[in-house]
Chain A
Amino acid sequence: MPNNSTDEPSVPFERTEEFRLLRMLHNIGATKPEKSLSIHEISEWTETEASEIDTELQKLAKQGFIQSIEADGTTKYHVTLSGMRKVLSMYS
């Protein structure tokens, strides 16, 4: 097992805002279409401006971690299977 010491690549343990939002959506149970939440509801949970959340939600949707549905005349969001796996990878 020959070994040459190397500099360790840095690991960004800090979480991004979008990942924090994804984790929160998962933990409050928005994991299926019938439990989807509107931007207004997410804003209340996170105590963050709706306009800021919208940007993060679009990023998460683009990556396939959340999905939107139209319900009660508004757009609502829930975490996808891929998003659940992303979140759960932190805890196992």
Chain B
Amino acid sequence: MNICFATWEFPPRIVGGIARHCNGLAKALARNGHEIHVITLDFPGTPSYEECDGVMIYRTPTELGHPNFLTWALLFNHFIEKKIAGVNRKVDFDVVHVHDWLTGFAGISFKHQMQKPMVATIHGTEVGRAQGLHNPDSFTIDGIEWWTTYEANKIIVTSDSMKGEVHGHFHLPQEKIEIIPNGIDPKRYNAPVNRSAVRGRYGVNPREKLILCVGRLVPQKGIEYLISAIPQISESHRDSRLIIVGEGWLRGHLERIARSTRYQRKITFTGWIPDRELIALLNSADVLVVPSIYEPFGIVALEGMAAGVPVVVSDVGGLSEIVEHERTGILAYSRSPESIAWAIERVLSDPDHSEWLVRNARDMVQKTYSWEAIAMRTAKVYKEVAG
């Protein structure tokens, strides 16, 4: 099939999980013999067109800007739409697949102008991300999300909890929503690394317990609750260190919380780091913590499992579907530093049990979350809507 992806983020323009999702899925679909064209936004230092592992990637510049984000989003959708139309003249797409509301406008126009089906993956909702609709922009985004799901011939969500959220909030028929989880390439994360050298780069000595947290520094990731758990963890593990990887607008606030714990020297913020370094860190950590308060899927937990690090995650959304408590990882109550501290101690205090969790988790990732299997399920949805 000839498939068009419309996404506002694609590597190296990585904001959240959408870029990784689109990259993994596009490459797997190409390996399965489909023709994949990704239309995305430009990014400094990247070419306007390139082919990568069989995927054709078009990066369109946004010629017009606007201080208001929603107006800017509308403008860049116009440029994405123009690019889709241009490529479609040569390719004749069978389906357009949009990712979140951000490219909904372009997908809806394509659907009506070309009389071709549109599939939309809803990676998260505004009402979930913002934990409510608190301002006019949120209400507008919520409306665009509803409109995108209404217009789409089929909706894909990555977890059962997201299906419930999308079905309940947008009043969509259950049969319109397909659950297809996120995937990863396990081999990529199971990399041999020099643990002491990697830890040394972050000032962590071999005796210390490296607690790793990876995520955008935004409220939904719940990182403040992990930071608040550090004093309790330090009582039983004086040699513990917390490394927080990621960037976001909440960073200043989180750094202030870290200072207020009086354990600031045990907490390091790295900012954004390249994927290679992230994989090295995952392979060098003693525990990976995902303390989110809202998480439609939680791909970072899978990445940790593939890298062979024990995972502690909040019992919310997709995370509680990925991790089986005390079999493939440890679940903790979200928003509870005490519960997070307990879960981390459970891992750090019992290395044999942790190794068992890691073995189970690796098996589960291999069997359930390979991109090949996920690409086949996605192609089945394309065939269904394309008739």
Chain A interfacial positions (CB closer than 8 Å to B): 1-6, 8-9, 11-13, 15-16, 19, 23-24, 27-32, 45-46, 81-82, 84-92
Query: Distance (Å) between the CB of A27 and the closest chain B CB?
Result: 4
Task: Report yes or no: B66 in contact with A9, Cβ–Cβ below 8 A.
Answer: no
Q: Is B228 positioned at the interface, with any CB of A under 8 Å from its CB? A: yes
Task: Report yes or no: A1 in contact with B333, Cβ–Cβ below 8 A.
Answer: yes
| Residue in contact with A28 in the complex, picked from B44, B67, B333, B343, CB distance below 8 Å | B67
Task: Report yes or no: B250 in contact with A11, Cβ–Cβ below 8 A.
Answer: yes
| Residue in contact with A89 in the complex, picked from B15, B65, B72, CB distance below 8 Å | B15
Task: Report yes or no: B343 in contact with A85, Cβ–Cβ below 8 A.
Answer: no
Task: Report yes or no: B315 in contact with A45, Cβ–Cβ below 8 A.
Answer: no
Q: Is B128 positioned at the interface, with any CB of A under 8 Å from its CB? A: no
Task: Report yes or no: A89 in contact with B247, Cβ–Cβ below 8 A.
Answer: yes
| Residue in contact with B44 in the complex, picked from A11, A81, A91, A92, CB distance below 8 Å | A81
Q: Which of B5-48 contact A (CB under 8 A)?
A: 9, 15-16, 18, 44
Q: Is B373 positioned at the interface, with any CB of A under 8 Å from its CB? A: no
Query: Distance (Å) between the CB of B216 and the closest chain A CB?
Result: 5
Q: A27-B66, A28-B67 are in contact. List 8 more A-B contacts (CB 8 A).
A: A3-B333, A3-B338, A8-B335, A27-B72, A28-B65, A46-B67, A88-B15, A89-B218
Query: Distance (Å) between the CB of B68 and the closest chain A CB?
Result: 7
Q: Which of B66-113 contact A (CB under 8 A)?
A: 66-69, 72, 100, 102
Cα separation A9 to B335 with both chains bound (whole Å): 9
Q: Is B205 positioned at the interface, with any CB of A under 8 Å from its CB? A: no
Q: If the complex has contacts A1-B343, A11-B224, A27-B67, are A89 and B248 also in contact, measured as CB distance less than 8 A?
A: yes
- The chain A residue with its CB closest to the CB of B62 is A29
Cα separation A6 to B343 with both chains bound (whole Å): 16
List chain B residues, Cβ under 8 A from A8: 335
Q: If the complex has contacts A1-B331, A9-B257, A11-B224, are A86 and B338 also in contact, measured as CB distance less than 8 A?
A: no
